[in-house]
Amino acid sequence: MARAPSVWFHYDDHFPGDIIHQSVLIPHDGATLDTYYCCMQWNAGGEGGGYCGLQDHPNGKALIYSVWDPIQSNLPIKPAFTGMWTETQKFGNEGTGLKSMNFAIGWQPDQWYTLVSRVWNYGSHTYFGFWIYDETDKQWTHVLTLDFPVKSVMFNTSTGSFVEDWAGTGENMRKVFFRDGFKRKSDGTWFPFASGNFNVVRGTGTANHSDNYDAGKIQDRYYLASGGTIQPTAGLGTSKRFDVKTHLEPTEKPIDFTITSATPKLVTWTVPVSSTPQFKYTIYLGSHLVAMDITTEVTSHVLSGANVGDTVKVILEDILGRITTRMTTVTDED
């Protein structure tokens, strides 16, 4: 068997950023076993290189997030947070690194999923966080956060998306749609993936399917396809530039949450799974700063010296950098 050629988009975000965001849909006629539908790739060949996306794997329909081993450090990459059902393991072959796979969350053809990755400094290391939103079930999941042992790594290169036939089943067609791609710049503004450069990657292993590929745009989305009997759209060639109509920034609403309890000893809050997830919390007791931390899963904090009637303010930043504030009054524990 022979492989289908790999097909790519590279976007115009040639600058460092700390958040990347994109939505992906795999149509039922493009869901093909042994295919990697890469949603976002960054820093290829450089520090903190990695990619994430959906995989049609023999063991099921997987989410995958991979980061290559550091260049400036001999320390290993470690999971800082592992979401439910997420498995991590070292990988080799084209370089070495740490990858995660999650089969239980899964994905379904003909449904949109939004993938978000964010990097931030934590101590002397960089953390890579990965979240997915199921647009059908209206549910966010924190899949993974990796502890990368080099400080101040960002998404430095342009972002890429690709479709790869990784097991040599080129006789089958695979296809994917992408929309709502963005990167957040270091000044906090958003850059939409409104333009992309398509190219096809052929090799000796793709000789039987060298002309079985296609790419293009439909209104607000790009598409990539390869394999089977698919043929290039007239005028596509082996590279072409496309642009789409897109939003200027992500359209998800800022984080929503409820302060569920505030006693003299403890304040607690809840974030619904339908809300854009928590990234950072800040707590004030009156005008006094009680706590501030970047932590995605903590939803309570000790209140020292609080009295009944005092005002508590909880400020949450979500994974896309938006802020929501709630206030309440300390009540008796009873």
Which domains, ranges and CATH numbers included, belong to the chain?
6-243 (2.60.120), 258-329 (2.60.40.10)
pLDDT tens track for 305-325? 899 999 999 999 999 999 999
Higher pLDDT, 1 or 133: 133
DSSP 189: -
Residue 94 confidence (pLDDT): 81
pLDDT at 255 over 60: yes
Q: Decide if pLDDT at 334 tops 60.
A: no
Which DSSP letter does residue 186 get? T
Please determine, for residue 271, whether its predicted confidence score (pLDDT) is greater than 80.
yes
The predicted-structure confidence for 71-123, as pLDDT tens digits, reads as follows 999 999 999 999 999 999 999 988 899 999 999 999 999 999 999 999 999 99
Residue 1's pLDDT is what?
Answer: 63
How confident is the model over 287-296, as a mean pLDDT?
96
> How many angstroms separate the Cα of 308 from the Cα of each of 78, 262, 267, 290?
42, 9, 12, 16
Are 144 and 297 in contact by the 8 Å Cβ rule? The answer is: no
Residue-wise pLDDT for 151-201, tens only, equals 999 999 999 999 999 999 999 999 999 999 999 999 999 999 999 999 999
pLDDT band at 225 (very low <50, low <70, confident <90, very high): very high
pLDDT recorded at residue 93: 85
Tokens 């520090």 correspond to 47
DSSP for 209-249, please give it. GTT-EEEEEETTEEEEEESTT--PPTT-TTEEEEE----SS
